[in-house]
Amino acid sequence: MNEGREEFLRRYVAVQAPLRSYLLALLRRADDAEDVFQDVSIILWDRYAEYDPAFPFLNWAFGIARNHAARWRRGRARAPAWLPPEVEEKLAADQAEIEDDLRARRRTLQDCVEKLGAGARELLRLRYERALPLQEIAAVRRMTLNAVNKALGKIRRFLGECAGQTRIGGA
């Protein structure tokens, strides 16, 4: 039992970021994607005994995520599919294919984010993790809307330059 749990955790940790990205692409709203991600995580654990190790774990997880996202959308009138099923399948296949490069790029970007000050990291968290509107960020941080826009612009430029300088693969 312990070996199975450890193997699941090793595989699961490796696919968390691409799985979240895939669900966000399917559902378009961060809070919806996170809700479905939590459900899919439980389903992956519950169904891990059915997983065939000859098949890539990421592809298996994407299939479960795609099916669960479709069921989730059917239960919510405000969340219709915005991509045709064949595009969802192509997205999963393409994302699985480029995951190694994406993993390296995420590490590079994370290294760049760590170079930022605490205030800049908080702005990023508010905007991109919590998906707050700029006006709300301005209120929370007691900044003008213009100051928030300028700060986020500077942060994005820094991250682009930093990630570009250390880009994996030389391109």
Residue 51 has what pLDDT?
Answer: 93
pLDDT of residue 165: 66
Average pLDDT along the chain, 171 residues, taken 10 residues at a time? 80 91 85 93 95 90 91 72 70 74 82 94 88 91 94 94 64 38
CATH code, residues 1-98: 1.10.1740.10
pLDDT for the residue numbered 83: 64
CA 163, 131, 71, 25 torsion-angle sign: negative
Task: Give the Cα separation of 20 and 11 in Å (integer).
Answer: 15
- What is the distance between the terminal CA atoms of the chain, rounded to a whole angstrom? 44
Output the six-digit token pair for 57: 């774990």
What fold is seen in the domain 115-171? Arc Repressor Mutant, subunit A (1.10.10)
- Parse the chain into domains and list their residue ranges: 1-98, 115-171
